[in-house]
Structure formats: C-alpha cells, structure tokens
Structure 1
C-alpha cells in the first residue's frame, strides 16, 4: 500500500504475514536486483485468506499467487517504484485490480450468504410467504404447522351451543321448558307468569322455577303433587281464584322446604291449609271464609313473620299464635272475634283487630310483647268494664286506636304514647289523669295527636293543666 514520509515522499508498504516492512527507493539508490526483488510476487499472508465456500480464483489474479487450498484465495499487492513511469503505471493498475478484487470479494461473500439462506427453503418454493408470516407472529416456525392459539372458554361463563359436523343438519330444537298457557321471560328464567288467563287448572311447573304466579284465574283446586317437580319454589301466588278447602291436596305444600311466601287470599277456603313448610315467612289467607284457627294449624312455623287473616269469618283463635316466635305482623281484622287471641308472640310489632266483636282485653295483655308498636281495636264492643286499669299502660306502644267502641271514659295510657284515637265513643269527660299521673315541669305526656271528636265532651270541659301535660300535642280534636 502507498504512504508518505515526513518530507512528503511517496513510499510503498508491503504486507508480509504478521510483519510489515517499508522500502523507499527514493530514500536511497536502489540496484536492479533490489527492484527485481521488490517487484517479485510476495509470499501469501495468512491475514488475507478468505473462505470462499468452493468458489474459484478471482478474475485478473495470478493463479500462482493463490494458495494450494481449494477454497481460499489471496489478495496481494505488487510493490513498485513510484518514481518510475512504468512502475507507477503498473502500480495504478495493481491498485485498481485490488479495488476490483475487493468488490468481487464482497459480491462473492454476499452470494455465499444468500446461497446458504436459499438452501434452507429448497423444499419450499413459497419461502418468502413464510418469512412474511413469521414477521407477524413471533411463534411461527417455517418447518412446523401454523400454531393456533389454544381455545379458552368465554370469560363470562356463557355456555356454548352443541357442535355438529359441517354438512350435517343441525339437531332439532329441544322442547320448550315452559307451559303454553304461561310466560317464562328469558331475563327472569326462574319466574313463570300464568296470571289473568282464565285458567281452570294448575299447569306443569318446571323444576327451575322459584316464583310462580297463578293469580286472577278460575282455578278451583290444587291437586296433590302439582309442585313436586319444583321443590325449590320460593313464592306461590294463587290469590284471586275459586279454590275451596275440599279440593286442596293434604300434603301439596309440605315438600316445598324453601317456600317463603304463599298467597291464597281472595278464594273460597273454609279451613286453614296445612301442613305448611317451616320455611314460610308470609302467609296470606285474607278474604276467605275461614271460621276457625285450630291450635295446631300454625304449628312449626317458627320463621313466619307476617300472617294475614283479615276479612274471614273467624270466631275464635285460641292459642294458635303462641308458637310464632318470629311473627311481627298479625292481621285479624274484619272477623267475628269476641275475644283477643290467647297470648301474643314476643316479637310482635303490629296487631290489627279492628272490626270485630271484642268486648274485653285482659289486664297486662300487651306486656308479653315488649316490641309492640301499633294496636288497632276500633269498631269493636269495648267498654270500660271490660278494660283493666293497666291494659294499655305499655311503654312500647306508640299508636293506639280505640275509636268507634262503647267507652265512656278515657282509658289510662302510657306517657310514651304518641297517637290516640278515641273518636266515635261515648266519652263525656276529659280526665287529665289518663295521660299524666303527676303534672309538673318534668312529668308530661309525649302525646302528639288526640282525637275525641264524636263523643259527648264539651269544648269547655278541658282542664286548666291540660296544656302543661299535653305540651307536645300538635292536634287535639274535641
């Protein structure tokens, strides 16, 4: 290769193995022997050997300068004298040959690499298509089948429909799991609506149902075993039909161990249905013709919270309510009761006994129900002779309705009472001691509403200390 000295003279550097030597004929006179030795072919250097994968010698090179190795070639530089015109021309030719040789070497090297890459796809003429696909998926292997991702179920738990082979007809649809007479909405799959359809019988109930509605039809019987297929029922609505007690199966409800609400109101029942499941929480039997409630009619219903028996013909209840320890609401209004039930449940909060023939209430009758809030005894036959002095002196009662009875005096009430209805009686005096035993700044009644209209009290009959005792009253009507 060419170089320059510090004085600007051109020199030729020759490569020979791992040692480099510089000869400058301009620095001193050179003999013909030295020039011949310089211009002679140099031995092949190991650092210029290039693997050629079986390629032949380069064009324009001296075959004698090639190594005897069949797969190697050598790039050599022939030294020349830069001052000699012949040598300089020969040097230019050698430099161009070296440049051409390097270009050819690059071409052959690139061709060798391409031949190796092409050899990978000799069996696949569409190797370029696999290459493009491999750029789209990092998991693709050109020698393996195209990898499909494993199937994963739908994350929301939606079940797949039944699969069938292509070309074969789809399987026939399954029969509809809902009676033709009813409606089973898909958005509420556990409910069956059969109301207001003039049905005269109970249709089949699918096992998945929890809420069935048969109200306002012409159903007259509840056949035995009609609910045996759907033992998970929670609600049964049978109100507004023509069901009679003689046509109700004896054990038609006993297998429904999860039943919570039973609507049998507005029918023609004359007896209490039973046996009933222990899980029952609400029992609607109002607007029937029931005349009696036996002591064991409600046996085992420890979870019952509401019992509706209004608008019947009940004359006696007895002790049927004592075992209902979870009962909160008891409605026996519009019957023919002459006595209040024997003993009330301890959890009772609402007692409705209006429109009966009750004429007396035992002393301390309400103390067994410390949570009692509302008592309605209007439209009965109560007299002062049938009431003890402490009958209504219960600290828990907030509302007491004794209107439309035969009372002549205001019965004593507790100071915690807030609403007292006494209209439509025969009361002829305003006794302040019925509200406050002691009248002072500390002791007073919490009464807010007092109705005494429809009685025999004169407007000027109110005592002078009434405003002090009834200081929180917002309405006193005489």
Structure 2
C-alpha cells in the first residue's frame, strides 16, 4: 500500500506548529559563561558573568550541594540525588528556577517543608525521578510545573490549591487515572497548557479550568467524551486524544463542533466515521481509524461564498478509504486545504 496525497488547492510548504516546550532552551552551557565565582559549591559552577545561576548538572552528585545566597537559577539535572532535606534551600528563598530532572528522588525522601520558603519559585522541573506523589506545598508564584516520567498515581486536589499563576503542567508518563486527578486542576485560572499523555486515563479529566487552551491526552485508555465537555472549555484551541479507544458510540454527535478549536488529533483510535467539526478547525488528524466513508457533511453543512471549511491539513490515511472516496465537490467545501491525505489501494 502506498500513500496518496490529494492536493486540493496548493502544496504544503510549512510545517505544523510544535506545541511542546523545548526545555533545553532554558540551559546555557556553564563553560560558555566564564570562570566560576569563589563562593560556589564544590563540583558546581557559578559563572561570574551570570552570578545568579549555579550549574550542578551531570556531576554524579549523590546529595544536594550547599547553595550560596544570591542563586536564583539552580540546575541539578542528570545526577544521582536521592533526597531533599528541609533546609536544602534555606539560603536561596528567592530561587526562581529549580531543575531536578533525571535524579533518583523518591517522595518519602523529600522532607516536609523542603519547598516552603521558596516564595518566588516560577519553574519547577522534576521529571524522571521516582515520585509517587507530587511535592508541595508549592509557591503561589509558580508558572510551570513539570513532573514527567515519575510514578505518580494521584494528584490530590490540595496540591495545586491557590496556584493562580500556574500556566503550564506536564504530567506525561505516569500512572494517573481519571479518578485520581478529578478536580485537581480546578481553580487554576491561568492554566493554558496541560499534558497528561501516557497515563492510565479512561476519561478526560473532570473539573478543567475555563482558561485551558492546549489539552493533550495521547496514549491513554479514553473511550468516550461527555457531550458537553468541550462546550465548558471556551478557550480550548488544541486537543489531542490520539492512541486511545475512541469509537463512534463514545463520541456524541457534534461534540467537536466548537468554534475555538484550531487543531484536533484523533488518530489511532477506533472511529468508524468522520466526526462533525466546526468550520473554523484548521488541522484534523484521523489517520489509522476504521473510517470507510468520506462524509463532506462532517466539514460543511452549507457551501457558499462565505460558508466553507477552514481546514488546511486533513489526514485520513490508514483507514478504509481510497482516492475515489473523496467526493468530486470536496474542493468547494475544503477550499483552503493544503493537504488531504488518504490511503490508496490502487
């Protein structure tokens, strides 16, 4: 089987906007910032050209170093640290960024009160450790929380209580269930981005704040979506539910027909038909489902000078469709499309 791209109006010349954050951009190599200051912890670098940062990454550290006053950006990723004691940050109450990715820290080895005095903390990166529950309480100044690749099985509702500045949460590759995160994000009035991919969710999370713009739930066990779920999220623009268990019976008619959505990814599910979407949708990914009919009514109820779909990219490869499945008048409805991909059996 070969892939056949049906170009409706023009050739695709751009690439899709990547919504994932590049955390490497946070890190400036310490060896490019000049010699280290005299008060720096042993085995770490505190560049005199960037005196508010301390680089302790990739040093095979087994315990937290002593942190001198004045440090606001602390990089401790890729070590062998196992515990954080209550007084670990006593000298740096003005710490802004704390990067603890890829260590061996367990929840039981984070002493009570370890983060209590970090009243100015903005970014906490705590991925690829061995946490079974989130650390806290956390500063109300926090804007970004990253706990990818731990062993989290629940997010208690009190964990994020009062975090009105939190805009971005990454919880991929954990052991979270729908019940264990129900209500966990309520009250996060600034939350724009939530990634809960690669967990054990059977449903999309309940109690989502109205501020959410990007919701990613790929690689779970989601088999249905409540009829009014998206209508309660008036700012949602990007929704990804690929690699789940969605079938037609679990997708109410019109559930995705909301005007705010720009991108919808339903690839690698069990859908037998193309769901109805709003004319404002620009990117729709439906590859590798069980779709056997190209229903133009899913995109356009009325076709006219000002009534047409805004779709630019439509993926339908890996279904039961061929080139001949595309209706002759599809170009009138999908007049802005740059790419429409189906699978050819010719």
TM-score (norm 1): 0.62
1:346 matched residue in structure 2? 210
Q: CA deviation at 1:370?
A: 2.2
**Aligned-partner SS, 1:375:** strand
1:427 matched residue in structure 2? 291
1:291 matched residue in structure 2? 153
Residue in structure 2 matching 1:468, options 316, 332, 336? 332
Residues 1:258 and 2:117 are matched in the alignment: no
2:11 matched residue in structure 1? none
Residues 1:243 and 2:105 are matched in the alignment: yes
2:32 matched residue in structure 1? none
Residues 1:277 and 2:139 are matched in the alignment: yes
Alpha-carbon RMSD across the aligned residues, in angstroms, is 1.3
Higher helix proportion, which one? 1
Q: Within 5 Å, which residues of 2 pair with 1:10-409? A: 176-316=38-178, 317-409=181-273
**Aligned-partner SS, 1:460:** helix
Once the two structures are superposed, residues 32-62 of structure 1 have per-residue CA deviations (whole angstroms, 9 ceiling, x without a partner) of xxxxxxxxxxxxxxxxxxxxxxxxxxxxxxx
Distance in 2 of aligned mates of 1:339 and 1:295:
18
**Aligned-partner SS, 1:367:** helix
Distance in 1 of aligned mates of 2:201 and 2:118:
32
Q: Determine if contact 1:245/1:270 at 8 Å carries over to the other structure.
A: yes
Distance in 2 of aligned mates of 1:250 and 1:309:
22
Larger mean CA deviation between 360-369 and 319-328 belongs to 360-369
Q: CA deviation at 1:463?
A: 2.4
Once the two structures are superposed, residues 85-119 of structure 1 have per-residue CA deviations (whole angstroms, 9 ceiling, x without a partner) of xxxxxxxxxxxxxxxxxxxxxxxxxxxxxxxxxxx
Once the two structures are superposed, residues 261-314 of structure 1 have per-residue CA deviations (whole angstroms, 9 ceiling, x without a partner) of 111101111111111111111111001111112222211111101100011111
Q: CA deviation at 1:349?
A: 1.5
Residue in structure 2 matching 1:446, options 291, 307, 310? 310
Distance in 2 of aligned mates of 1:339 and 1:273:
25
Distance in 2 of aligned mates of 1:458 and 1:186:
63
**Aligned-partner SS, 2:249:** helix
Q: CA deviation at 1:411?
A: 0.6
Distance in 2 of aligned mates of 1:458 and 1:212:
55
1:148 matched residue in structure 2? none
1:30 matched residue in structure 2? none
Distance in 1 of aligned mates of 2:292 and 2:188:
40
Between structure 1 and structure 2, the one with the greater Rg is: 1
Residues 1:413 and 2:277 are matched in the alignment: yes
**Aligned-partner SS, 1:396:** coil
Moved over 4 A (4+): none
Aligned length: 304
Once the two structures are superposed, residues 372-399 of structure 1 have per-residue CA deviations (whole angstroms, 9 ceiling, x without a partner) of 2111110000111111112111111111
Q: CA deviation at 1:474?
A: 1.5
TM-score (norm 2): 0.85
